[in-house]
Chain A
Amino acid sequence: MDTSLLPVLLGLAVLLPLGSFWVILIAGNRLGKQAATVAVGAIVGAGVLSFWSLAIWLVHYFPTEAAHGHGGGHGSEHEAGEVEQPAHGKASEGHAAHASPSHSGHAETLASDKASGTGRLDRSVDSQTMLVSAHLLGRSVEESHAGVEEHAGGAAEGAKEGPSARGPPFAGDYYTLGVFGNLRLTIGYYIDTLTVLMFCMVTLIASCIHFYAIGYMHEELHDVTDHEVTLESGRHLTRPGRFHRFFQYLSLFCFSMLGLVLAGNIAMVFVFWELVGICSYFLIGFYIERKSATNAANKAFITNRVGDFGMIIGLMALWTGLGTFQFGAYDANGDGKVEGTEQGLFELVRPGPDHHFRVPLSIALAESREEVASLVKGWRSQAAAEGKQLNEAELQKRLAAYAKEAGWLEPSSGKTPRGYWWLIIGGIGIFCGCVGKSAQFPLHVWLPDAMEGPTPVSALVHSATMVAAGVYLVGRFYPVFTPEVLWVIALIGCITLFMAATIAITATDIKRVLAYSTISQLGYMMLSLGVGGWVAGLMHLVTHAFFKSLLFLCSGSVIHAVHTNDMMEMGGLRKKMPYTAYTMLIGCLAIAGVSIPFLIGFSGYYSKDRILEQAFVFMQQNHSIWGAVFFYAALGGAAITAFYMFRLWFLTFAGKPRNEHRYEHAHESPKVMYVPLIILAVFATGVAWKLPDWVPGSGLHLAGLLEQARPAGLHGTMTGYWTELVWPDEHFAHAPEQHYSVVVPVTLLATGTALAGISLAAVMYLWGWLSPGDVRRRFPRLYAFLWNKWYFDELYAFLLIQPTHGIARLIAMFDRRWIDWVIDGSANLTRAFANAWEKIVDRGIVDGLANLFAGWVWSIGVWFHRLETGRLRQYVLYLIVGFLALFVLVSLFWSSAMAASP
């Protein structure tokens, strides 16, 4: 069970759904119901491989319970660690053993110099200055260095000496597509705990959804009459079932998502990113005959294009500045040594032992291109005058020295390093893509419309794949984001979570409530990532995936039973469909974050509390308006979340049936549909649980696993150059000494808000003490504002769509009036010329000549034809006449020509 097995297993897990896709694509029509078997087999196989990988990972790198308090233990992680093992590890260990703590930093710096090798960066900057500037929260330099030391030994020995706290990221390539100068395009992988966890989460949820879909989509097995499509003849559309095609798309979707998670470089990320987008397009538009479905699919796709445009800009900025696509380091010559290693993105922007954010020399040089050119020219001419030749390495060395001296990278107070804004552009650009995919403000409009797809698709899109992709990518690119970018992320997340939560209050479509809930929860994740809560945000991604897929599948089950999306038509359904009702209740409790404080709670409790704690610490550390805005928005959002989720549950399952007819026909879903619900409910309840600290192996829980994958450099506090804000270390909130100043109040606040939200929902919708209608009448403007989803669609229609249509009409008019005129005119001119040409030249001259010759030949033929009477006797006469003529001719010329010669 070697770790080298990981890329193979995960690569296979990615390929299995692709294989299923091809099988169903080729043999889909003949497979019938077996298409589901193929797809389910593929995703379950991928799931087995994923959990196998997790097991391998745990065997080698079992998480230790060290997250709280002594966060420095995870402080330094070297991205090149994976290619390093023999040389680098031993060297640093040797140094560390003899060096005093204050010097070990230098030793480490030297080691990493060796490791990164290419000399592209300025490595000789004094590490002390960085370290000191980094620890504003009062953590001692010694402590941090101790962590460095600990890691240096641990990571190297870890692979051999059994489980260690952290595993290095495994980066490498399956296949090199091509090398273009410095640019290597590869099919690569980047595996850390986040990757493995995402694999397990995605495959587990996707498997449940696959099983569920077998039941949900069963009517697609035969001809379907679509009651939402009316043909011109007035009848409903009847079409062949598309059961196999649904599973085909599901497989492709899973393949794309898994590939995205495994991707080892930006180029691959982008490819799979787009694949995810196109799959969602296919699935949202699954009922292509419905106008609304095709519109929704187009909307999703086009909105995502807007985000992806920003993403491309970001990718180009990063590529231009850093010159590589790889995430992790790449051992170019494959000898296992660090020389010739190509540095990955993360290492370039966070070099050195402390992994603090630094502007790479390459960006600074690219930024001041003209200056560098003149410098190089000067050096060259100087060298030429001395009769020497400057080679490339010497030039690089001189440039690095010059940059250091001029303070390009470590400027004095009040100035930013050169090229810093490139990284901001790159970060914001990539975040733009995530905004589109994860439906953040202002590109959130596509997600509610995406409810047009079949419910299993909604569940998949909303939990494990599409929207998770955006959050995952933010988490993956986290080391590249500057504090300024993080601020933007936090702000967008904050706006999104609050806005979507308020819209969800008034929605009556059961799936739309869940859709806005998703947007809101994604906002939470973004906010969390934005304020520095990396683990919190990604933990919420995982827990949310479980309870949101559960909620969606439950709503699908309800819709399946009552054939409507409108909650006003439901009510009292818990008696008819108990499994669905109580699993959905678990989902609601989980999303609301209900708990017995400090003891135990649903999964949402753990992740949401972490987010709130981080936001709270952020507020504490920054005496700025933003801290308060972020924290209170999150807190308010939590309350609203609890309110609308229980509103949904009460309206659907509690009380009296509001539509007797639909109630009569309601029934519990088949086993193949509610068993996945139960599985997901179990996970939604307990996925974030952890054992008490004194139990051995208590480190094995969701947060602990994610802690292993925390990107390098996030152990400390960050500050940006353009902002005064401080990003506190995530561990700070969980330090024992902070327990009563952070954890307790936040937990109590969160629980309180959740309970308040639930109570309000109960008051209004369960016991009926407060009539929703009254409230509505009391705040008509607010209600209309929320009911119309903050008028976003109208705003976009006014700002973008109508101007576009106007311009299009204008251009069309121009097109018709002028361009068509020119084209028609030239066409007419050509035709007239052609006509004239035909008449004069073709018919007159060419045809005339040809006809003339033909006429001659014809008349000659006709004339000779008269000789040919077919009468034998005449021919004899011709013979004689011919002979005579010949004789006469010969005798005429005989005398002159022949007789003269002898």
Chain B
Amino acid sequence: MTGLLAVITVSHYLAVGAFFFVTGVLCMATKRNALGVLMGIELVLNGANLNFIAFGSKYLRSESLGLDGQLMALFVIILAAAEAAVALAIALSFYNAHSTIDVDQGDELKG
């Protein structure tokens, strides 16, 4: 229970971000559904966002990035939205072309 009593630091946030990141990457590596892969990407981006927020927070560290971190996180969110739109379009296109959403089927370009 001492964990609950400890003061939260940047490292804790980084740990959560790392967990998100690894979860996202594993999602990408294991999901055969293209939308699952897309979700993994969202998780990875969110993990990165957590890091930005942690480094920009004045509560966690006195010499923080400040407003820059938050702005970065904002841009990442925007980027994630754009990425989601495009990736979804690609996924739909793929679905139209292959009549499937299984990324393992999309291996025509292999050497």
Q: Which residues of A come within 8 Å of B, CB atoms?
A: 865, 868-874, 876-877, 880
Give, as a whole number of angstroms, the nearest-CB distance from B14 to chain A.
16
Q: Does B63 contact A (CB under 8 A)?
A: no
Give, as a whole number of angstroms, the nearest-CB distance from B46 to chain A.
17
Most buried by A among B25, B29, B30, B109: B29
Tell me, in angstroms, the Cα distance from A741 to B24 when the chains sit together: 146
Whether B107 pairs with A870 at a CB distance below 8 angstroms is yes
Give, as a whole number of angstroms, the nearest-CB distance from B109 to chain A.
6
Whether B103 pairs with A873 at a CB distance below 8 angstroms is yes
Whether A873 pairs with B104 at a CB distance below 8 angstroms is yes
Residue numbers in A under 8 Å from B50 (CB-CB): none
- A864's nearest neighbour on chain B, judged by CB, is B111
Cross-chain contact of A865 among B25, B31, B103, B111 (Cβ < 8 A): B111
Give, as a whole number of angstroms, the nearest-CB distance from A169 to chain B.
96
Whether B107 pairs with A876 at a CB distance below 8 angstroms is no
- B104's nearest neighbour on chain A, judged by CB, is A871
- 26 A-B contact pairs sorted by A residue (CB < 8 Å): A865-B111, A868-B110, A868-B111, A869-B107, A869-B110, A870-B106, A870-B107, A870-B108, A870-B109, A870-B111, A871-B103, A871-B104, A872-B28, A872-B37, A872-B104, A873-B30, A873-B31, A873-B32, A873-B37, A873-B103, A873-B104, A874-B29, A876-B28, A876-B29, A877-B29, A880-B25
Tell me, in angstroms, the Cα distance from A139 to B3 when the chains sit together: 162
Residue numbers in A under 8 Å from B103 (CB-CB): 871-873
Tell me, in angstroms, the Cα distance from A865 to B29 when the chains sit together: 20
Closest 3 A/B residue pairs (Cβ): A870-B110, A870-B107, A876-B29
- B34's nearest neighbour on chain A, judged by CB, is A872
Tell me, in angstroms, the Cα distance from A874 to B104 when the chains sit together: 10
Tell me, in angstroms, the Cα distance from A870 to B107 when the chains sit together: 4
Give, as a whole number of angstroms, the nearest-CB distance from A185 to chain B.
77
Cross-chain contact of A876 among B25, B108, B111 (Cβ < 8 A): B25
Give, as a whole number of angstroms, the nearest-CB distance from A37 to chain B.
79
- B30's nearest neighbour on chain A, judged by CB, is A873
Residue numbers in A under 8 Å from B109 (CB-CB): 870
Tell me, in angstroms, the Cα distance from A877 to B110 when the chains sit together: 16
Residue numbers in A under 8 Å from B108 (CB-CB): 870
Residue numbers in B under 8 Å from A873 (CB-CB): 28-32, 37, 103-104
Most buried by B among A865, A869, A873, A880: A873
Residue numbers in A under 8 Å from B32 (CB-CB): 873
Residue numbers in B under 8 Å from A871 (CB-CB): 103-104, 107, 110
- B111's nearest neighbour on chain A, judged by CB, is A868
Residue numbers in A under 8 Å from B37 (CB-CB): 872-873
- B108's nearest neighbour on chain A, judged by CB, is A870
- A868's nearest neighbour on chain B, judged by CB, is B111
Most buried by A among B32, B106, B111: B111
For chain B, residues 16 to 47, give those with C-beta under 8 angstroms from any C-beta of chain A.
25, 28-32, 37
- B107's nearest neighbour on chain A, judged by CB, is A870
Most buried by A among B30, B107, B108: B107
Residue numbers in B under 8 Å from A865 (CB-CB): 111
User: Per-residue 0/1 for B88-111: is the Cβ within 8 Å of any A Cβ (1 yes, 0 no)?
Assistant: 000000000000000110111111
Tell me, in angstroms, the Cα distance from A868 to B109 when the chains sit together: 9
Residue numbers in B under 8 Å from A874 (CB-CB): 29
Give, as a whole number of angstroms, the nearest-CB distance from A868 to chain B.
5
Give, as a whole number of angstroms, the nearest-CB distance from A867 to chain B.
9
Whether A880 pairs with B107 at a CB distance below 8 angstroms is no
Given contacts A870-B107, A872-B28, A876-B25, 9 further A-B contacts (CB under 8 A): A868-B110, A868-B111, A871-B103, A872-B103, A872-B106, A873-B31, A873-B103, A874-B29, A880-B29
Tell me, in angstroms, the Cα distance from A877 to B107 when the chains sit together: 16
- A873's nearest neighbour on chain B, judged by CB, is B29
Give, as a whole number of angstroms, the nearest-CB distance from B73 to chain A.
23
Residue numbers in B under 8 Å from A872 (CB-CB): 28, 37, 103-104, 106
- A879's nearest neighbour on chain B, judged by CB, is B25
Give, as a whole number of angstroms, the nearest-CB distance from B57 to chain A.
27
Give, as a whole number of angstroms, the nearest-CB distance from B35 to chain A.
13
Residue numbers in B under 8 Å from A877 (CB-CB): 29
Give, as a whole number of angstroms, the nearest-CB distance from B107 to chain A.
3
Tell me, in angstroms, the Cα distance from A873 to B107 when the chains sit together: 11
Give, as a whole number of angstroms, the nearest-CB distance from B110 to chain A.
3
- B110's nearest neighbour on chain A, judged by CB, is A870
Tell me, in angstroms, the Cα distance from A424 to B104 when the chains sit together: 109
- A874's nearest neighbour on chain B, judged by CB, is B29
Residue numbers in B under 8 Å from A876 (CB-CB): 25, 28-29
